[in-house]
Amino acid sequence: MSYPGIWQHSQSPLEYSSIRDLGAGWANYGDSLYTTGSRRTILATNREKITNNGLNSVNTVTDQLPEGIPFLWDTTLNRYAVSPDVEGAVAFVRISFQAAFTGGSNAWLSIEFDAGGGIIIWGNTVTFPRGIDIVHRFSFTALFFGSSTLLVLPGIDAYLEPSNDTDFFGFSTMIYVPYRGGF
């Protein structure tokens, strides 16, 4: 989902009263659906989209959003909602969660950010350092920037793929937009 015109400003940067007026801002969205007592299981080698309903009142913060942006994480479509739609715009996305694999050995976990149509713009694979049913904390940060490829895309999805059956919970998505371009 893109918001036409919100990246463009007619004022000189010296006329802004806050960094948010310049298009910078951030938000954090905490999931309340998958918790320690109610985990999400992803089966071995299944690639599934990360979901985050943004309803965890303890760690959801949305009062620092960039001016003119209603949200950065779309809790309905479960995606980074505002692809940088100006050449040179920048955003950091951090996804954190806890996970425990429930069977097998030598487990690994792959996370990818997909800009649509199979365009993987960031990915990482890590191993679980300890055994079965041991909870591990993970946090991944990716930097996105406005480019000719991303300018036409509606958002960025995040996917997980574990090597073994794995339980996930405690999802948190933090998005920071330090520069929005277009000045």
Type of residue found at 66 = P
Write down all domains in the chain, each with its CATH number in brackets: 25-179 (2.60.120.40)
Question: How far is C-alpha 80 from the chain's CA centre?
Answer: 5
Low pLDDT (below 50) residues in the chain: 1-14, 16, 183
Task: Say whether 174 sits in a helix, a strand or coil.
Answer: strand
CA gap 111, 88 in Å, rounded = 25
Q: What is the pLDDT of residue 1?
A: 39
Q: What is the pLDDT of residue 64?
A: 92
Q: What is the pLDDT of residue 23?
A: 73
Q: What is the pLDDT of residue 4?
A: 39
Q: What is the pLDDT of residue 181?
A: 65
pLDDT tens digits for 131-172?
889 999 999 999 887 765 565 566 789 999 999 999 999 999
45: left (phi over 0), alpha (psi -120 to 50) or beta: left
β-partners of residue 140 are 95
Task: Say whether 21 sits in a helix, a strand or coil.
Answer: helix
Q: What is the pLDDT of residue 22?
A: 62
Q: What is the pLDDT of residue 106?
A: 84
